[in-house]
Amino acid sequence: MDVILLGTGSPIPDPRRAGPATLVRAGGATILFDCGRGVVMRLAGAGVLPQTLSAIVITHMHSDHICDLNDVITSHWVMSPIPQPLAIYGPPGTEALVKATLAMLSPDIGYRLAHHADLNEGPEVVVTELAPGDTTQIGACELAAYRTEHAPVRPTLGYRVTCGTAIAAVAGDTVPCAGLDALCKGAGVYVQTVVRDDLVRRVPSRRFQDILDYHSTVEQAGTTAQKAGVKILLLTHYVPPMQAGDEDSWRALAAAHFDGKIVLGDDLTKVSLPE
Ligand SMILES: [Zn+2]
Ligand SMILES: [Zn+2]
């Protein structure tokens, strides 16, 4: 199983970091978690063309996690040599999100249908809304949904992907909670979006401080990883953007609470687990 950080950024614009998106490849399946800014470019960087995706999985509807969903839908559609459905999983509200996205794309869909004689229908998107406790099969991978806590954003889900003996916990944006502990229990890799509260607190902006309300800090990610007995903690969604050469100071904050391996870095950072 390969877990690749496609985008390690956040809503804060950063020329080096795409928006939140993580790729899990295992057992022949290629699963995209979230569709942040620049996701199709980073998929290309990982050697993945949109039409080869097995499924898209959405953690929650914050704009930084879904703003390029339209690009994935369009690219999957026009680059597929023969019509093939695109499977999208997510919490309740995903169906409405996809419907609205297709409505936004309707002029473009019309242009392409009018232009290409071999395109006879628009994108076929098959949405499955999931609740905590639901599981589904994507190729050889089992996908299980867990409740996370990112209030006032509701609903939010974290996902556990199991393929053979490999387990990845893709947590999304969440503070520590019982659902997150269950999601991470014994995982080979735990992917957590994080903030640095020590740095955020220095910024004299009420709106920026609000970010601290509903994300895990780097220390909390380390504590969750330790409690759950995960092997590798993979940090992403760095707020504020992690600067070059700063990796060790971020790692040290998690290492104070977690004995295992801690991985962080730029877009396309990869962790591999035996299946
Ligand atoms: Zn969020
Ligand atoms: Zn976010």
Active-site choice (2, 14, 34, 64): 64
Q: Where are the domains of the chain?
A: 2-270
In this structure, which residues have their CB less than 5 angstroms from ion ligand 2?
Answer: 64, 173
Q: Which CATH architecture has domain 2-270?
A: 4-Layer Sandwich (3.60)
Q: In which residue are the tokens 């019309």 written?
A: 110
Spell out the per-residue pLDDT of the chain, length 275, in tens: 999 999 999 999 999 999 999 999 999 999 999 999 999 999 999 999 999 999 999 999 999 999 999 999 999 999 999 999 999 999 999 999 999 999 999 999 999 999 999 999 999 999 999 999 999 999 999 999 999 999 999 999 999 999 999 999 999 999 999 999 999 999 999 999 999 999 999 999 999 889 988 999 999 999 999 999 999 999 999 999 999 999 999 999 999 999 999 999 999 999 999 99
CA of 63 to the centre of ligand 1 (A): 8
CA of 213 to the centre of ligand 2 (A): 12
Nearest Cα to 180, choosing from 194, 163, 198, 166?
194
Integer Cα distance of 24 and 143 in angstroms: 11
pLDDT of residue 265: 93
Integer Cα distance of 69 and 57 in angstroms: 11
> In this prediction, what percent of the chain has a pLDDT beyond 90?
98
Q: Which ligand is nearest to the CA of 62?
A: 1
CA of 173 to the centre of ligand 2 (A): 6
CA of 263 to the centre of ligand 2 (A): 19
CA of 209 to the centre of ligand 2 (A): 14
Mean pLDDT, all residues of the chain: 97
Q: Which ligand is nearest to the CA of 238?
A: 2
Integer Cα distance of 45 and 163 in angstroms: 24
Q: Which ligand is nearest to the CA of 148?
A: 1
User: What is the model's pTM?
Assistant: 0.98
Q: Which ligand is nearest to the CA of 36?
A: 2
Looking at residue 31, the DSSP 8-state letter turns out to be E
| 204 contact partners, CB below 8 Å, separation of at least 6 | none
C-alpha pair distances (Å), 80 with each of 6, 13, 51, 188:
22, 31, 5, 33
Known catalytic residue: 64?
A: yes
The tokens describing 13, both together, are 């614009």
CA of 173 to the centre of ligand 1 (A): 5
CA of 37 to the centre of ligand 2 (A): 11
